[in-house]
Each structure stands twice: as structure tokens, then as C-alpha cells.
Amino acid sequence: MNYQLALTESEKRLRDIELALNESSIVVITDNKGTIQFANDKFCKISKYSQKEIIGSKHNIINSGHHDLNFFKEMWRTISNGIVWRGEIKNKAKDGSYYWVHTTIVPYLAGKGEPYQYIAIRHDITKRKQYEEQIELMAYYDSLTSLPNRNLLNKWVMERPLKKEDIISVLFLDLDRFKSINDNFGHDTGDLVLKEVARRLRNCLRKSDFISRQGGDEFIIILDDMYSKQDSISVATKISNQLALPYRINNNNVITSTSIGISMGTIRDDSCICSDFIETLIKHADNAMYHAKKQGGNTHCFNTPYQNHQLERYYQIEQEIKKALGQEQLSIVYQPLINLNSTEVIGVEALLRWNNPRLGKVSPLEFIPLLEEFGLIIPVSKWILKTVCNQLRIWRNNGVLLEKIAINISPIQFRDHMFAEDLKQILEEAQIEPSFLELEITEGTLLNITESTRTLKELKNLGVRISIDDFGTGYSSLSYLKQLPIDSLKIDKSFIDELDVDGKIIVNTIVNMGRNLNFTIIAEGIEKKEQLQYLKGLDCHEGQGYYWSKPLPSEDIAGIYHNSVIYRPKILKIE
């Protein structure tokens, strides 16, 4: 380096120094081995070292341990090449407290090839950093338990480097009957239980395990380096045992247990995206937790390929069902109802069908609970009521004079305050006598006696008929039902299936008692001649089943009603 060049380099450095310096600057000069040669008063004040203590010491005396080796390597690489470095550093003072400084390090070449001095000019940014930390704490940590929250879990999942063959295990925890702790002891106690749960979780896990509170009484734990299923089960068992110990809170002994879902996986493929991989594991663990709950709680469950398949299907249905009504994928079929005495078709039951371009035909037993879960059952039910009433109008106009149409009513629809009002309007618009309609509800719908009695009365005032579907599978007694305005009982198919085994006693009792209490008795799921003959012998009023016909499109019902050649002979045959 020639003299002229060295001079301009020095001038540039001086300008850098001048630019960085102001009244509050903390200045330190070290030699090229990092030994402190000069420190101003501001440095002594913030670092709490005296001039005497600091001069001659190594600069790393103020390292906080916050930054990793790469951070310092990068800094040294820059300044030893004569380039100015700027950055934010957390340092440690003599008394162990920490402070943050914005730092400019100017290498001073003074004519030589390598720097022989470093001038560090710092400014205190501790307040700003504390503020930022505070904000981060609020955004990423749960204020009650101080555990990472859902946001931090998502961030962690997104940023976590994963190596091929890393084995990850996810535990999804949910406390059993936590709501009853809140209800019985109050929310303050509930909160203290959650805090204690978090403390116990921290105690029984390693530092490298990630614990987060998802909200409510749900926690997610991500374990690294679990080499076998047994390892994960041991951790889950340890957690269960710890969390099952009594909680002594506000002079109360509170007891709870935990349901834990476990899923495990390993990255086999380089193209696998870490966040997708862990998210899938979390979903699987959640699903497994749900199975643990279904077994009564206080246990752990591993996710199985079968559960994964169920989960996969659940998400597919969720995606598709939201479009079903708008895209005209729903339709209604009608299954004939036969008067067992006259052997005539006296009505039909309307049954919903869903044909989806991707999933094909999906059973109502599978998709109706999901319509309920996703809040879609009310609009779909209104559509069913309208379609069925219009269909009945068309049939009546064409001389298909059915006595009744049965429609299945979801408990959610039944509890909707607008239900009776909406139904009234739909009947009026289609000009249908309410008595043609028979609403099928299940015993479970009547669990809340006061509320359901009020709704039943409203519906009866409208003039529609009410029937109890799948009767015998719930817990209601005939004498209880007699106090309600109910017209018919539909005996569940499972009892008809067992007529040749031990279903006879139950069916005898239902038909005999039901008839005496003036209910119309309907048997569903009749498939065999013997079943029909037995029911006829009991004087059961009506029947429905594949013996006569599967559910059919509306066009075929008109055919059946008019064309006695196709239909009536079949009925006559069994007389």
C-alpha cells in the first residue's frame, strides 16, 4: 500500500469515526488481539468496570453469551479485512446485568496492511430492546402460563431446520373434564391449575423439547430424538402421572387427568417441507387425542394409519361440502312407507343424498354430522324442506295423493328459534297442509325437556306430525314420551335385524305398549318376508325397507304410486 493510498484510507476511517461519534457515544479502542487500550467514561458507566479494571483486559470480558460463535466469526472476518462492521450486541456488565448497544467497529489501518487497532463506538439501545422483547413476549407467549403460545409454535415450526432422518414426536394434550373444574371451583382456580400444569410439564421435559399452550386446556409438546414408539409412550406416561397428582389450590384438592394423542414421523425425502411435515404430525396427534377422549380420557393413544385416513377424509369432506349446496350436488330420494294392513304405499321418507365430483357418493351418516359441525345444517335443512314441500305439491297436482312425507330433522335445526316460523312460511308458499308432513326427530333431540317441549308444542300448533326416529336406541321411556305431543314411533332397524335372535322381546314390548298408548308404530329396515310377517302378526301399523324398495328419485315414486303392475304385485305377494 503506498503512502498516498494509506492516507486516504486513514481519512476515510476518521470520517467513519466522526459520523458515529456523538455526546452519548461509548468508545473503546482495542489492539488487534482484542486487548482494551482505551475506554471512555461512558463505557465505564454502562459496563460498571473502572478504568483501572478495564484497561489491559480482553474485550470479551463483556460478552453476554447471547450471540453464537458464527456471529463473532462474521464480525472478525469483516473487521480483520479492514471493513467497518455495524450491528446490535448484547453485553454483560460487571454486576451481571445485561445491556444492548448499537456498535460501529472501525478497523484502524494507519498505513499498514492489517489493522492494528479497532475503534468501537457504541450507543445504548437497551430501552428499545427491552420494549421489543416485551412486545415479543406478548405476541409469542401465553400470559397465564408463560409458555410459548400458538404463534410461537407456528413460527418455530416454520423456522426450524430439520435434517433428513430426524425423528419427531408430537404429543397433543387435553385435560379431562377441565370445564367442570371451572364450573365447580371457579375460573381463578381453573387458571391456577393451568399454571401448575405448565410448571409440571416443564419439570418433566428436557430443555430441548418444545412445550406450548394452544389455548384453553390444550397443550402441544414436540420431542426431538425419540428413537422408538416406546420412548414417546414413556414420556406420555410420565406426563400423565405428574398431571394426575392432586392440585392443592385455595384450600381445595383439585384432581384432573389428561388425554394424550401421540404421533411420530421422520423426514425421508429431501423435498419434504418441514412446516408441512410437523403440521401434519400435529393434526395426527390431535386426532389421536380425540380417540383417547373417546375411550373415556386418562389415557394416551397413538395415531394409526386408519385414523390418518379418517382425518384425511374429514379434511376432504370439509373442503367439498361447503360447495355442495351452491353447486347443486345435493339431491333428495324418497323411500316408500307401506301401511302393513292395506299393503298400500301411504307415504315416503325423504332422504338426503350428496354426489360429489371428487368423492363420489357420500353417505348421509358420514356427511350430516359434518354439516352440523361446520354450521351448514340450517341452510341445507331449509333447502330440504322447500324441495320436499314443492315435490309434494307437484305430486298432489299429478294425482299422487300420498298421506304423508317424513322428513328427518337435525337436533340443531330443531333447536333453531326460527324453525317453526320458517316451516310455516315454507308450507304456506308451497300450499301444503301441515298434516301431510311428519317430522322425524331422535330421542337425543329431546334431552332438554323444557326447551324441547316448547318447540314440540309450537310445531304441533302448526299442525305437523312428529315421530321419534331410531326409537329404542336412546334412553327415553314410553311413559315419558306419552307426555309429549308425539304421533309416531319408528322402531330402529337394529331391532328388526335381530328379530330372529333376541330382538323379539323388545319389538313385542314397543309395539304392544306403543299401540296401547296410541302411537302409530312404524318398523324400518324390513328386508325379509319373515320380518314382515312377524310385524304384521303384532299389528304394527307401518313399515319401510328394502323388502319393498330402496330410496328412489322423485320421478320413480309417481310411477310406483300409479303403476300397480310394478309395485302392487310385489306387495300382494307377501300378503
Binding site for Mg ion (CB under 5 A): 408, 440, 469-470
Q: Would you state the cell numbers that stand for residue 239, as one nine-digit string? A: 406426563
Q: How far is the CB of 322 from Mg ion (least distance, A)?
A: 25
| Planar angle of CA 314, 320, 321, nearest 5 degrees | 85
Report how far residue 227's alpha carbon sits from residue 53's, in angstroms, rounded to the nearest whole number: 51
385: contact with ligand C2E by CB under 6 A: no
- Indicate the helix (H) or strand (E) that contains 536: helix 529-537
For cell 334412553, the residue is: 475
528 and 547 Cβ atoms separated by less than 8 Å: yes
267 and 161 Cβ atoms separated by less than 8 Å: no
Q: How far is the CB of 408 from Mg ion (least distance, A)?
A: 4
Report how far residue 175's alpha carbon sits from residue 239's, in angstroms, rounded to the nearest whole number: 12
Which of Mg ion, ligand C2E, none does residue 479 bind to, with CB < 5 to 8 Å depending on kind?
none
For ligand C2E, which stretch binds (CB under 6 A), given 99-107, 141-149, 211-219, 403-411?
Answer: 403-411
Size of the site for ligand C2E (CB under 6 A): 23
Report how far residue 108's alpha carbon sits from residue 155's, in angstroms, rounded to the nearest whole number: 41
Please identify, using beta-carbon distances, which residue of 174 and 349 lies nearer to Mg ion. 349
- For 477, the 3-state DSSP assignment is coil
Report how far residue 524's alpha carbon sits from residue 368's, in angstroms, rounded to the nearest whole number: 20
For cell 386446556, the residue is: 217
CB atoms within 10 A of CB 139: 11
Contact map string, positions 461 to 490, toward ligand C2E, x by CB under 6 A = --------xx--------------------
441: contact with ligand C2E by CB under 6 A: no
Please identify, using beta-carbon distances, which residue of 174 and 469 lies nearer to Mg ion. 469
249: contact with ligand C2E by CB under 6 A: no
For cell 324418497, the residue is: 334
Strands, E assignment, 242-326? 247-249, 252-254, 258-266, 300-302
For the segment 289-348, give every residue that binds ligand C2E (CB under 6 A): 335
255 and 282 Cβ atoms separated by less than 8 Å: no
Report how far residue 59's alpha carbon sits from residue 37's, in angstroms, rounded to the nearest whole number: 10
Q: How far is the CB of 172 from ligand C2E (least distance, A)?
A: 31
545: contact with ligand C2E by CB under 6 A: yes
Choosing from 107, 472, 514, 525, the residue that interacts with ligand C2E (CB under 6 A) is 525
Report how far residue 49's alpha carbon sits from residue 41's, in angstroms, rounded to the nearest whole number: 10
DSSP summary character for residue 60: G
223 and 235 Cβ atoms separated by less than 8 Å: yes
For ligand C2E, which stretch binds (CB under 6 A), given 128-136, 416-424, 502-510, 545-553?
Answer: 545-553
Q: How far is the CB of 349 from Mg ion (least distance, A)?
A: 6
Q: How far is the CB of 332 from ligand C2E (least distance, A)?
A: 7
Q: How far is the CB of 476 from ligand C2E (least distance, A)?
A: 16
For cell 311413559, the residue is: 479
Please identify, using beta-carbon distances, which residue of 263 and 549 lies nearer to ligand C2E. 549
Please identify, using beta-carbon distances, which residue of 267 and 376 lies nearer to ligand C2E. 376
Choosing from 46, 193, 384, 535, the residue that interacts with ligand C2E (CB under 6 A) is 384
438: contact with ligand C2E by CB under 6 A: no
Please identify, using beta-carbon distances, which residue of 274 and 333 lies nearer to ligand C2E. 333
Strand order of the β-sheet with 218-223 is 210-215, 218-223, 167-175, 258-266, 300-302
Choosing from 365, 501, 505, 565, the residue that interacts with ligand C2E (CB under 6 A) is 365
Report how far residue 256's alpha carbon sits from residue 240's, in angstroms, rounded to the nearest whole number: 10
351: contact with ligand C2E by CB under 6 A: yes
Please identify, using beta-carbon distances, which residue of 347 and 525 lies nearer to ligand C2E. 525
Please identify, using beta-carbon distances, which residue of 103 and 467 lies nearer to ligand C2E. 467
Those residues with Cβ within 8 angstroms of residue 373's Cβ, 6 or more apart along the chain or in another chain: none
410: contact with ligand C2E by CB under 6 A: yes
- Indicate the helix (H) or strand (E) that contains 298: none
For the segment 144-163, give every residue that binds ligand C2E (CB under 6 A): none
Please identify, using beta-carbon distances, which residue of 293 and 353 lies nearer to ligand C2E. 353
Q: How far is the CB of 432 from ligand C2E (least distance, A)?
A: 17
Please identify, using beta-carbon distances, which residue of 148 and 525 lies nearer to ligand C2E. 525
Choosing from 239, 368, 437, 507, the residue that interacts with ligand C2E (CB under 6 A) is 368
Q: How far is the CB of 439 from Mg ion (least distance, A)?
A: 10
Which of Mg ion, ligand C2E, none does residue 525 bind to, with CB < 5 to 8 Å depending on kind?
ligand C2E
Cα 308 to Cα 284, 290, 439, distances in angstroms: 6, 12, 37
Which of ligand C2E, Mg ion, none does residue 410 bind to, with CB < 5 to 8 Å depending on kind?
ligand C2E
For ligand C2E, which stretch binds (CB under 6 A), given 45-53, 126-134, 316-324, 404-412?
Answer: 404-412
Please identify, using beta-carbon distances, which residue of 122 and 404 lies nearer to ligand C2E. 404
287: contact with ligand C2E by CB under 6 A: no
Those residues with Cβ within 8 angstroms of residue 264's Cβ, 6 or more apart along the chain or in another chain: 167, 168, 169, 170, 226, 229, 232, 281, 302
Sign for the pseudo-dihedral over CA of 322, 323, 328, 330: negative
Choosing from 201, 471, 551, 554, the residue that interacts with ligand C2E (CB under 6 A) is 551
Q: How far is the CB of 221 from ligand C2E (least distance, A)?
A: 39
- SS3 for 430-456 is HCCCHHHEEEEEEHHHHCCHHHHHHHH
352: contact with ligand C2E by CB under 6 A: yes
Q: Would you state the cell numbers that stand for residue 81, as one nine-digit string? A: 479485512
For cell 335445526, the residue is: 413
Please identify, using beta-carbon distances, which residue of 426 and 439 lies nearer to Mg ion. 439
- Enumerate binding residues for ligand C2E (CB under 6 A): 335, 351-352, 363-365, 368, 384, 408-410, 440, 469-470, 493, 524-527, 544-546, 551
